[in-house]
């Protein structure tokens, strides 16, 4: 299912598209191989668990509307924009090893829409 992912302020920022994340313009920006998330080049970027996206420090970047995972707080959700046209899917890279996962933190200081820019 393709759906919007929300940031700490409840604003729709990026798109969850099954095994990948897309920018608000429909371009693939990351891969998901649960529970791990990888940058386009295959380096480990964080975790995705029960509808919640965590950064490399295990702080929450964003969440799906029906997320059941850990959230430091649940903001009210803003309206969602229409879905953009979806760009083609790039070739799948080899994935790097998975680091140990630190203890959970609060909300990430990173911006979810900028986190995957390389």
What is the total count of domains within the chain?
1
**Separation between Cα atoms, residue 56 and residue 109, nearest integer Å:** 12
Q: Say which DSSP state 52 is in.
A: E
**Contact status, residue 39 vs residue 118, Cβ threshold 8 Å:** yes
Range of the domain at 62: 2-115
Per-residue pLDDT of the chain (118 residues; tens, 9 = 90+): 899 999 999 999 999 999 999 999 999 999 999 899 999 999 999 999 999 999 999 999 999 999 999 999 999 998 899 999 999 999 888 998 889 999 989 999 999 999 998 6
CA distance 21 to 14: 7
Q: Can you tell me whether residue 108 is helix, strand or coil?
A: coil
């Amino acid at each position: 299912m393709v759906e919007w992912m929300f940031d700490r302020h409840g604003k729709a920022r990026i798109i969850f598209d099954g095994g990948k994340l897309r920018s608000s313009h429909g371009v693939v920006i990351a891969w998901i191989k649960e529970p791990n998330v990888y940058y386009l080049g295959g380096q480990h970027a964080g975790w995705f668990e029960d509808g919640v996206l965590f950064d490399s420090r295990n702080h929450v970047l964003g969440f799906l509307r029906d997320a059941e995972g850990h959230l430091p707080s649940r903001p009210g959700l803003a309206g969602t924009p229409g879905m953009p046209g979806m760009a083609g899917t790039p070739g799948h890279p080899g994935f790097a090893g998975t680091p140990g996962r630190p203890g959970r933190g609060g909300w990430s200081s990173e911006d979810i829409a900028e986190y995957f820019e390389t």
